[in-house]
């Protein structure tokens, strides 16, 4: 009986390994199931959406594009007059305000006229005296002629009296000159504006004694309307300048230093007769009415001369044109809001506008801001404000 039980029941050391293998198989199977479940879930997960790149765009357009030459210039007056006195004397009164606009012939300064009024009286008195002597000499000459006709006096006496008349007449002429000189000095004591313009800061005050030999002058008078601008362009552009000068009054626009605001509009007046070899430029002069006073003498400005016009040119903002080793290109926004890289050839760039030779169609939008984040086929979102997507010139 004991022997039979030992045969039917396995030993304890044989049951332990079998149970351990069953648990190991169950854990392995559970890990495999979890892995495949997670793998299946990850494979069916949706891809993250493509984010659109915010950009600014502008529409290309076809139109007339002006061809300009721009050069740095200086505003210069047509005349700059330093007013001097022509007579010596003490200043009685100054009639102008500093910075005032005056008309030609307007009284500026009055010098004490009394010394010149005295000189005029003396000259007029001397002339009256000599005129009386001339009258007496002529009456004597008439008597001598009558006596000579009667053979009472010799011809020599008649000739002598005639010479005395001539001397008296000459003395009267000298007196006339003295009178006119005194009148002129009296006129010069009233200093008037030789030209119309703006007066600067005065150099003398009432009470000062001034002399005709003074070198400093009394005040500087500068015409401001009209006024000129002298500017330079490269010598390589001289043919274009000469071609434009054959037109009737080529227009010249003047801008501030930053080329942000137009100050005045005028016409080309003259082209210099030689090239400045030190700078390789040619000087040009333009004239402006300057009735609004926007141009100020010795002001630095940018002058823009119109030399030609490109008709039916395809224009885009210059900011849209990018450079690469292979040439110039632009990003064009397609109907599906993706971008296409287009190679272009730039014909002309004038400020913030460039004229292209093909590559873009009229009305197509080109990217002008945010280009550095784009690749061909990138999705874009136009963030330009309303009304800013048209190329204006």
Task: Name the packing angle between helices 155-188 and 114-149 (round to 10°).
Answer: 160
- Residue 323 CB neighbours (<10 A): 9
> Do 266 and 227 touch, CB atoms closer than 8 A?
no
Distance CA 286, CA 263 (A): 14
pLDDT in tens, 84-97: 999 999 999 999 99
Model pLDDT, residue 66? 86
Angle at 346 between CA 73 and CA 385, to 5 degrees: 80
Domain spanning 68-78+225-310: which CATH class is it, in words?
A: mainly beta
Distance CA 171, CA 123 (A): 12
Helix or strand holding residue 305 (H, E): strand 300-317
Closest CA to 288 of 245, 227, 198, 231: 227
Q: Is the pLDDT of residue 243 over 80?
A: no
Model pLDDT, residue 387? 42
User: What is the bridge-based pairing of β-strands 380-382 and 53-59?
Assistant: parallel
> Do 255 and 263 touch, CB atoms closer than 8 A?
yes
Domain spanning 113-188: which CATH class is it, in words?
A: mainly alpha
Residues 6+ apart with CB under 8 A from 299: 74, 75
Domain spanning 81-108+195-222: which CATH class is it, in words?
A: mainly beta
Q: Is the pLDDT of residue 390 over 60?
A: no
**Across 32-46, 189-203, 279-293, 372-386, least confident range:** 32-46
**Across 132-146, 182-196, 295-309, 346-360, least confident range:** 346-360
Model pLDDT, residue 386? 42
Q: Is the pLDDT of residue 281 over 80?
A: yes
Computed over every residue of the chain, the mean pLDDT equals 86
Q: Is the pLDDT of residue 1 over 80?
A: no
- pTM of the model as a whole: 0.65
> Do 232 and 255 touch, CB atoms closer than 8 A?
no
Q: Where are the domains of the chain?
A: 54-65+311-382, 68-78+225-310, 81-108+195-222, 113-188
Model pLDDT, residue 36? 59
User: What is the bridge-based pairing of β-strands 380-382 and 227-234?
Assistant: unpaired
Kindly give the residue spans of alpha helices, DSSP state H, lying in the chain: 2-8, 12-43, 114-149, 155-188, 238-245
Q: Is the pLDDT of residue 304 over 50?
A: yes
User: What is the bridge-based pairing of β-strands 300-317 and 322-324?
Assistant: unpaired
Q: Is the pLDDT of residue 170 over 90?
A: yes
What average pLDDT does the segment 312-321 reach?
92
In CATH terms, is domain 54-65+311-382 a member of 3.40.50.720?
Answer: no
What average pLDDT does the segment 143-157 reach?
91
Find which of 179-188, 255-264, 375-384 is predicted with most confidence, using mean pLDDT.
179-188
Model pLDDT, residue 132? 96
**What is the C-alpha R_g of the chain?**
50
Q: Is the pLDDT of residue 98 over 80?
A: yes
Percent of the chain's residues with pLDDT above 90: 61
What average pLDDT does the segment 329-341 reach?
91
Q: Is 87 helix (H, G, I), strand (E, B) or coil?
A: coil
Q: Write a three-state SS string for 221-265.
A: EECCCCEEEEEEEEHHHHHHHHHHHCCCCCEEEEECCCCCCEEEE
Q: Is the pLDDT of residue 371 over 80?
A: yes
Model pLDDT, residue 35? 59
């Amino acid at each position: 009986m004991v022997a039979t039980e030992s045969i039917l029941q396995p030993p304890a050391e044989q049951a332990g390994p079998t149970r351990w293998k069953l648990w190991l198989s169950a854990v392995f199977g559970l890990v495999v199931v979890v892995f495949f479940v997670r793998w299946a879930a990850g494979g069916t997960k949706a891809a993250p959406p493509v984010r659109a790149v915010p950009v600014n765009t502008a529409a290309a357009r076809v139109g007339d594009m002006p061809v300009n030459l721009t050069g740095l210039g200086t505003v210069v007056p047509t005349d700059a007059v330093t007013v001097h006195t022509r007579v010596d004397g003490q200043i009685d009164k100054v009639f102008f305000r500093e910075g005032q606009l005056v008309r030609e012939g307007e009284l500026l300064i009055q010098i004490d006229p009394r010394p010149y009024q005295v000189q005029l009286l003396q000259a007029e008195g001397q002339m009256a005296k000599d005129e009386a002597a001339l009258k007496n000499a002529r009456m004597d000459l008439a008597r001598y002629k009558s006596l000579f006709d009667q053979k009472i006096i010799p011809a020599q006496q008649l000739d002598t009296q005639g010479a005395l008349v001539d001397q008296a007449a000459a003395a009267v002429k000298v007196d006339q000159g003295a009178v006119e000189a005194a009148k002129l000095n009296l006129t010069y004591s009233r200093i008037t504006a030789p030209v119309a313009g703006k007066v600067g800061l005065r150099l003398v005050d009432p009470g000062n004694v001034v002399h005709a030999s003074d070198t400093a002058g009394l005040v500087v008078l500068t015409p401001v309307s009209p006024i000129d601008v002298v500017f330079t362009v490269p010598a390589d552009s001289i043919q274009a300048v000469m071609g434009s000068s054959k037109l009737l009054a080529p227009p010249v626009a003047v801008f501030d230093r930053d080329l942000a605001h137009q100050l005045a509009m005028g016409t080309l007046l003259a082209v210099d007769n030689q090239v400045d070899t030190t700078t390789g430029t040619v000087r040009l002069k333009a004239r402006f009415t300057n009735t609004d006073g926007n141009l100020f003498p010795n002001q630095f400005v940018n002058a823009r001369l119109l030399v030609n016009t490109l008709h039916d040119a395809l224009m885009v903002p210059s900011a849209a044109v990018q450079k690469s080793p292979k040439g110039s290109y632009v990003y064009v926004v397609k109907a599906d809001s993706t971008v296409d890289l287009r190679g272009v050839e730039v014909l002309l760039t004038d400020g913030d506008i460039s004229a292209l030779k093909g590559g873009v169609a009229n009305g197509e939008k080109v990217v002008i801001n945010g280009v550095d984040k784009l690749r061909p086929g990138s999705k874009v979102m136009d963030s330009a404000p309303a009304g800013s997507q048209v190329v204006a010139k």
